[in-house]
Structure 1
Amino acid sequence: MSETEHPSLPAIEFKFLILLSVFISCMSFINVVSAKLWSFAGLTISGGIMAYWLTFPITDVVGEIFGRKRAFFVVWMGLLANVIVLSLSQIAIQLPPAAIYQDQESLAKVLGAVPVIVLASLLAYLVAQMHDVWAFDFWRRRTGGKHLWLRNNLSTIVSQLLDSLVFNGIAFYLFAAERMPLSAFVAMTLGYWLFKLVIALIDTPVVYLLVAWLQPKKAQAAG
C-alpha cells in the first residue's frame, strides 16, 4: 500500500500499526489457547507458545526502529488486551446459557480463569517484556546500534528465563495449592527455558526481515 493512499499516515507508521495489531492479536490468541497442552521432548507445553514467541521479536524491532518508549507502549497495549480478553471471557461464561446450548461446561473449562494462573501469567508477561525492551535498548547503546542479532538474542534469552521463573514460581511453587518439590520446579523451569531458548535463536531472521521491511537501510547498518 503506497504512502499516497494514506496522505495523513506515513508509511512507516502504518507498518507500526500492523505490528501492533499482530502483537495484540497474539496476546488475545494466547488467552484462548493456553488451556491446550501438548508434549515435546518430555515437556508439557501450553499452546500459547505458538503466538508468544512472536511477541519478543516485535518489541525488539519496534525498539530498534522507533525507540524504547514506543516499545514500552506496545507492551502496555498487550497487557491491556490481556485484561480485556480475560474480563470478557469471564463475563461470557457467566451469561445464562440458552436451552439449546449444550457446551457451557466445555466453554467454562477452556476459558475459565484460575486466579493464581491469571496472576502468574500477567506478572510473567509484564516482567519478561519490560526486561526485553530495557535490555534491548541497553545493548543497543552498548554496541552503538550494531550487531542486531546479538542484541536480539541477549535481551530475549534472559527475558524468556524471567518469564519461566515468574510464571512457574507463582503458579506452581509459591502460591500453588499443592507446592511441587523444588527439584521438580527447577527442572520444569529450566526445561521451559531451554525450549524457549531454541525459539529465541530461531527468531533472529524474523527480526532482520521485519527491520528490513520497516527500514531497509537500517537493517544493513544494524547487521
Structure 2
Amino acid sequence: MTGGSPQSVDGAALRSAQFRYFDLVMAAFVTILLLSNVLGAGKRAEVDLPGIGIWPFGAGILFFPLSYVLGDVLTEVYGYARARRCIWAGFVATLFMAAMSWVVVVLPPASDWPGQGAYESVFGQVPRIVFASVIAFWLGEFANSYVLARMKILTRGRHLWSRTIGSTIVGQGIDSLVFYPLAFYGAPGWPVEAMLWVMLSQFLLKVSWEVLLTPVTYAVVGFLKRREGVDVYDSGTDFTPFRTML
C-alpha cells in the first residue's frame, strides 16, 4: 500500500497486500492482551466513589478493554481476515503464557530463595479460570470482529461510533456471559447473586471504556486509513473463525 486518500476495497482482494502498520497494531493487540492478564488479573482493587461507596474491581479491567478497541481498529482498517489472524495469535499467546506460568511456578525453588510464596500468589493460576478466560476471549473477540464487519457493510462505512460501540456490546456481553459462569459458578465464596452482580458491573465498565475511547478510536482509524490508503469492506469475506489464512 502506498498511502493517500483511502479507497474502498473488498477485503478478499487484499490477500497479498502489504501494509505499513499492520504488524505494529497486531503486536500492540497481543501485548495488551497478555499484560492485562499477567499484571492485572491477579489484583483486586477498590475505589471510593462519591454517592456509591467502595467499588471493588479487578485491576485488569483498566487495560483489557483496550484489546477490544484495537480489535475494532484491526477489523475496521484491515478487514475481518487480518483481525482473525490477530485473534488467533492472541489466543495461542495466552495459552503459551498460561503454560509457561504453570511450569515456572511449579519448578522447585532454590533453597535460599525467599520469593516462592509471593511468586505463586502473583503468577499461580487456577486452571478453571485460565480455561474460562481463553474461551471467553476467543468467543468475544470473534463476535466483536464479526459484528463490526457486518455493520460496516450495512451502514456503508458511516457512523463508526455505532459499529465500535455496538460490536463491543455484543463481544463484551458474550465474554462476560461465558467467563463468569465458567470461572465461578458453584465456586466457594461466589453465590449466584454476587457472580451476576460482578458480571454486570464489569460488562458496564468495559462498554463505558469503549464509549470514552471513541474519539481515540476515530483518530487512530482515520490515521491508519490515510496512511494505508484503503478502506476495507468484507463483502466477499469468508467469516469462519476456523482458519488463519487470508
Q: How many residues align?
A: 211
Q: Which structure dedicates a bigger proportion of its chain to helix?
A: 1
What CA distance in whole angstroms lies between the structure 2 residues aligned with 1:85 and 1:123? Answer: 15
The alpha carbon displacement at 1:179 in A equals 7.4
Give 2:225's aligned amino acid.
Answer: Q
- Any residues of structure 2 matched to 1:124-203 within 5 Å, and which? 124-173=136-185, 176-178=186-188, 180-203=190-213
Aligned counterpart in structure 1 of residue 114 of structure 2, from 102, 117, 130: 102
Contact 1:35/1:110, CA 8 A, preserved across alignment: yes
Aligned counterpart in structure 2 of residue 38 of structure 1, from 28, 45, 49: 45
Post-superposition Cα deviations, 1:59-104, rounded to whole Å, max 9, x if no partner, equal 1111112111111111111111101111111111122222332101
Q: Which structure dedicates a bigger proportion of its chain to strand?
A: 2
What CA distance in whole angstroms lies between the structure 2 residues aligned with 1:165 and 1:157? Answer: 12
Where do 4+ consecutive residues of structure 1 move more than 6 Å?
Answer: none
Q: Alpha carbons of 1:146 and 1:71: their partners in 2 closer, same or farther (altered >3 Å)?
A: same
TM-score relative to the length of structure 2: 0.78
- Structure 2: unaligned runs, 5 residues or longer: 4-17, 233-246
- Structure 1: unaligned runs, 5 residues or longer: 4-11
SS of residue paired to 2:21:
helix
Bigger Cα displacement from structure 2, 35-44 vs 139-148:
35-44
SS of residue paired to 1:146:
coil
- Percentage of pairs with the same residue: 30
What CA distance in whole angstroms lies between the structure 2 residues aligned with 1:144 and 1:59? Answer: 20
RMSD: 2.5
TM-score relative to the length of structure 1: 0.85
What CA distance in whole angstroms lies between the structure 2 residues aligned with 1:90 and 1:185? Answer: 26
The residue aligned with 1:16 is 22
What CA distance in whole angstroms lies between the structure 2 residues aligned with 1:48 and 1:84? Answer: 19
Q: Alpha carbons of 1:31 and 1:191: their partners in 2 closer, same or farther (altered >3 Å)?
A: closer
What CA distance in whole angstroms lies between the structure 1 residues aligned with 2:19 and 2:109? Answer: 43
Q: Structure with the greater relative contact order (CA < 8 A, sep ≥ 6): 1 or 2?
A: 2
Post-superposition Cα deviations, 1:118-175, rounded to whole Å, max 9, x if no partner, equal 11111111111010001101111110111111111100122112211111111111xx
